[in-house]
Amino acid sequence: MKKSSDAGLIRELHTHGLFQSAILMTCIVVELVIERFLRAKDLWNDYEANYDENRRTFGALINYCKGSEQREGYLTPTMIEECSKLNKMRIESAHMNNRRNVTLKIPPQTDPTNDMDEIENVTVEEEGEKAAYMAINEMGFLIDPQNNDIYKVRAFKHYAQDAISVASTVTKMLFALY
Tell me which of 97 and 37 has the higher pLDDT: 37
**Number of independent structural domains in the chain:** 2
| Residue 141, pLDDT score | 72
Beta bridge partners of 121: 151
The reply to whether 42 and 93 lie within a common domain is yes
pLDDT tens profile 18-29: 788 888 889 999
| Residue 49, pLDDT score | 94
pLDDT tens profile 39-73: 999 999 999 999 999 999 999 999 999 988 888 88
Burial of 88 (0-12, 13-18, 19+ CB in 10 A): middle
The reply to whether 92 and 150 lie within a common domain is no
Measured between its terminal Cα atoms, the distance across the chain in Å is 19
Question: What one-letter code names the amino acid at 149?
Answer: D
Helix H or strand E segment including 73: none
The reply to whether 93 and 67 lie within a common domain is yes
The reply to whether 41 and 66 lie within a common domain is yes
pTM: 0.70
Q: In whole angstroms, give the CA distance from residue 120 to residue 142.
A: 10
Instruction: Please report whether residue 85 resides in a domain.
Output: yes
| Nearest to 36, CA basis, from 146, 144, 177 | 177
| Residue 156, pLDDT score | 79
The reply to whether 172 and 138 lie within a common domain is no
The reply to whether 149 and 162 lie within a common domain is no
CA distances (Å), 29 to each of 6, 23, 94, 125, 144, in order? Answer: 7, 10, 16, 44, 40
The reply to whether 77 and 130 lie within a common domain is no
Parent domain of 63 = 3-98+158-177
Assess whether pLDDT exceeds 60 at residue 107.
yes
Burial of 54 (0-12, 13-18, 19+ CB in 10 A): exposed
pLDDT tens profile 132-173: 666 544 556 777 777 778 777 767 777 888 888 888 999 899
The reply to whether 148 and 167 lie within a common domain is no
The reply to whether 90 and 171 lie within a common domain is yes
Lowest mean pLDDT: which of 24-28, 83-87, 93-97, 141-145? 141-145
Instruction: Please report whether residue 107 resides in a domain.
Output: no
Q: Which residues contact 114 (CB under 8 A, 6 or more apart)?
A: 102, 104, 105
CA angle 166, 169, 87 (to 5 degrees): 35
The reply to whether 19 and 65 lie within a common domain is yes
Beta bridge partners of 142: 151
Instruction: Please report whether residue 171 resides in a domain.
Output: yes
pLDDT tens profile 114-124: 565 667 777 78
